[in-house]
Structure 1
Amino acid sequence: MDLLRNAVRPYAWGSRTAIADLLGRPVPAPHPEAELWLGAHPADPSLLVGADGSEVSLLDRLTEDPEGQLGSDCADRWGNRLPFLMKVLAAEEPLSLQAHPSAAQAAEGFAREEAAGIPLDAPNRNYKDPNHKPELICALTEFHALAGFRDAHRTLELLKSLEVPALRAHIELLAAQPDADGLRALFTTWITLPQPALDKLVPQVLDGCVAHLKEHGPFDRECRSALELAEAYPGDAGVLAALLLNRIVLHPGEAIYLPAGNLHAYLHGTGVEIMANSDNVLRGGLTPKHVDVPELLRVLDFRCGDVPVLRGDVVGHQTAYRTPAPEFHLSTLDWSVGGSAEGDDAEGEWIDSAGPQILLCAHGRARLTTADGREIEVVRGQSVWVAAGDPPVLVQPVDLAASGRVQLFRATAGVS
């Protein structure tokens, strides 16, 4: 059991306050901070901090002792690598519109680009590794996102409500087949429009959005998002595509799971994200980066409907977010002054260490004690690596009355 020091990724869309505040650093930060990475991704592995202050890369520790750190089952299945990556994601501005491939698509795409000799760092490279990247985001603050294609009939209502004559042919296209195939046809039409056509159509659609907002129509949030995206990415086909997606607001503790092929964009907010340990992203707009339209269309899932909001299964102080992903599992340990019976803060919760896990303190202060007596205290923003070979760990809130709440996020490998 070791404290972790984790890398902060300074992407332009990040927040100057959220991650700095979580880590107890001065606010605002000197530049946007978008993601805090917790794990063993080769691009930015976490560092294990010894009692004497020494540091060693978690990636190196896994290489030296895969079975002791991962457990034999995990090491055998995932090739001696940590199968998940945990992040704190802080979006001040929208991320790109994107989707991730399935495992079979990723393996085929990676092999194809390797055979073509495309360098891994080439801007037109789609597949950085042969792995898929399912992910789950759990909100720490109110979190706004676009995710998955909305029911086609509801989208027809939205497009008609804009009263834009230039959309008539597009509406008829979807109305003729109001299902996944119709959405594929409409999305393909929009994302392949020549720039002069986009420069003509997008402003007319935005005018329709403005009129809709003035009339307080039923799609206010969708129209407002389109206007905000257009301000950041004028003339981008992704502005139109955003009108096809579910507009989701997560409250703290709520989560969504994004499987392969789900077109999505995170808009604003802070959350804990967990994903398969992969870099594979197919972008669909709202970005200056490479957009490979044919490859994107190959991986997208156009099945439509609501994206389920997960509130977790609660047992005692633990809340578990169930997904079909074999690489990861996310849960929380949570105590609050109003929700804890007397004595709960002393009893705590035992967690096993059958596999690798990372614990991140999101609120308050907690004490982690192994069955053989080792002890670490963590405060908000600190995290701990627990190896598969470590004994079970007792997690206890500290000074619960003072903080009002103690919460830890727990990332482990999934259960197949």
Structure 2
Amino acid sequence: MHRLRNGVKNYDWGSPDAIPQFLGDGGSTDPIAEVWIGTHPLSPSIVLEDDGSERLLSDLTGDLPYMVKLLAAARPLSLQVHPSKPLAEIGFAREEEAGVPLDAPHRVYKDANHKPEMVYALSTFDSLIGFRPSAEILRVLGPLDTELTQRLSDELRADPGFATIVKLIEHLLTADIDRAEVRRIVEACRGLSEVGLDIKRAYQTAVEIAEHYPEDIGVVIALMLNRMTLQPGEAAFLDTGVIHAHLSGLCVEVMANSDNVLRAGLTSKHIDTAGLVACLQGGMARVARVTPDFLDYDTEVFSPAGGNFALAVTQISAAAPEGVELVRGDGSVLMCTGGNVTITTDAGGKVDLRRGESVYLDADDRGATVHGLGEVAQAYVPSSRALRSRLVDVV
């Protein structure tokens, strides 16, 4: 077993206290948005050896195919899409050939990987994920009665479907739209919400986002997206090509080992409209709640189709005095997500973890077992015969 020290990201949408409190470190004067656990070159984890020495996790494992994040959102993230593998390979090669530095603000493709991801909620977690059906978008836009919403409604009603929705997104991102029109839409949403008329929280969401981005066209795009709320212990899977924006809450994310993000608004970062539209034009992608499978009584396995990654969440208490054996794999990242636990192995290895601390378990850590009172989340690559979770599509 190898104890890890992980990189921290201070993005402006992060929370000054959620992650510090989770880690038991108190508050922060700066927003802390993410903790990265893995081998991505932009923020690789460090292995802390027993003799006091340190080395990159990648020196031990090579490039892991997945990455784990602890994410805390105090304000909306950017509206974004993650690319497919072919698009990522093309985009990465193009920017490498152009000599764009990896950490340049306008760099889009940080690697050649696709980025499907799964969110496991540690608190109530709100997101915008995927487009509403055409009929529902028309129901949302109709009562707003502004010039822009009327134009959008007319075009969608004339040709309902995913392709037209993508065209509307492209128009909103490229047209010279008066920001006063965005303000009018927000005020219309506010007025309807105040008299109790809302459609699946669309107007409430627009008003909430406008508090942070009052004239951003992303507020209008948000009206066209599903709002999903996860309670602690629930999970959702987002395939590549899904437009989304996390709104608030604390979660563990497991994803392919990538930092490729194409943005559509609600951000001060670079927006690549053409690249984002190209991702969306790949067709409807899967957005689903993940129904876990039980492994014995103490472990839930969230394993979405595709085999890129899985997450096993184990609860340990006095009900299992001999401990609970963890999922076996060729290697896995494990984080304590609650309480205080001890991990032991057949070879006599032992490590104590408090909430927020993490270790890497390699193939030699046979019989890894968790003891104590708490919860651990273990990310790994499932075998071909592993459990596959049932996915309940959002739309």
* Alignment size in residue pairs: 383
Residue in structure 1 matched with residue 55 of structure 2 by the alignment: 56
Instruction: State how far apart, in whole Å, the 2-side matches of 1:306 and 1:222 are.
Output: 21
For residue 364 of structure 1, give the secondary structure of its aligned residue in structure 2.
strand
Q: Does 1:186 align with 2:168?
A: yes
Alignment TM-score, normalising by the size of structure 2 = 0.91
Residue in structure 2 matched with residue 407 of structure 1 by the alignment: 375
Shift of 1:411: 0.6
Q: Given the alignment, which residue of 310, 334, 337 partners 1:359?
A: 334
Report Cα offsets for 1:196-238 as digits up to 9, x if no partner.
x231321121121011112211327321221232232232221
Report Cα offsets for 1:26-46 as digits up to 9, x if no partner.
2x2221111111112222222
Q: Does 1:350 align with 2:325?
A: yes
Q: Is this contact kept in 1: 2:36–2:69, CA < 8 A?
A: yes
Residue in structure 1 matched with residue 146 of structure 2 by the alignment: 164
Q: Does 1:238 align with 2:206?
A: no
1:270-349 to 2 correspondences below 5 Å: 270-300=250-280, 307-315=287-295, 316-335=297-316, 344-349=319-324
- Code of the residue aligned with 1:113 in structure 2: it is E
Instruction: State how far apart, in whole Å, the 2-side matches of 1:13 and 1:248 are.
Output: 19
1:116-265 to 2 correspondences below 5 Å: 116-194=98-176, 197-219=177-199, 221-265=201-245
Q: Is this contact kept in 2: 1:179–1:303, CA < 8 A?
A: no
Distance 1:202 1:347, change over 3 A: same
Distance 1:166 1:107, change over 3 A: closer
Report Cα offsets for 1:296-350 as digits up to 9, x if no partner.
10011586699422242223211111213433211200146xxxxxx63213222
Shift of 1:255: 1.2
Q: Does 1:370 align with 2:341?
A: no
Shift of 1:356: 1.3
Report Cα offsets for 1:144-183 as digits up to 9, x if no partner.
1001011111111011122334422210111112211221
- Code of the residue aligned with 1:49 in structure 2: it is L
Task: Report the identity percentage.
Answer: 39
Q: Does 1:381 align with 2:356?
A: yes
Instruction: State how far apart, in whole Å, the 2-side matches of 1:284 and 1:105 are.
Output: 17
Instruction: State how far apart, in whole Å, the 1-side matches of 2:319 and 2:251 are.
Output: 27
Q: Is this contact kept in 2: 1:150–1:304, CA < 8 A?
A: no
Q: Is this contact kept in 2: 1:35–1:89, CA < 8 A?
A: yes
For residue 324 of structure 1, give the secondary structure of its aligned residue in structure 2.
coil
Alignment TM-score, normalising by the size of structure 1 = 0.87
For residue 178 of structure 1, give the secondary structure of its aligned residue in structure 2.
coil
Structure 1: which 5+ residue stretches go unaligned?
63-79, 337-342, 401-405
Distance 1:105 1:308, change over 3 A: same
Instruction: State how far apart, in whole Å, the 1-side matches of 2:39 and 2:258 are.
Output: 11
- Code of the residue aligned with 1:4 in structure 2: it is L
Q: Does 1:32 align with 2:26?
A: no
- Code of the residue aligned with 1:13 in structure 2: it is W
Shift of 1:383: 1.3
Instruction: State how far apart, in whole Å, the 1-side matches of 2:163 and 2:16 are.
Output: 42
> Is 9-18 or 159-168 further displaced after alignment?
159-168
For residue 233 of structure 1, give the secondary structure of its aligned residue in structure 2.
coil
Distance 1:314 1:181, change over 3 A: same
Higher helix share: 1
Shift of 1:110: 1.5
Shift of 1:190: 1.3
Distance 1:249 1:352, change over 3 A: closer
Q: Is this contact kept in 1: 2:65–2:308, CA < 8 A?
A: yes
For residue 201 of structure 2, give the secondary structure of its aligned residue in structure 1.
helix
Report Cα offsets for 1:40-62 as digits up to 9, x if no partner.
22222222223344332212333
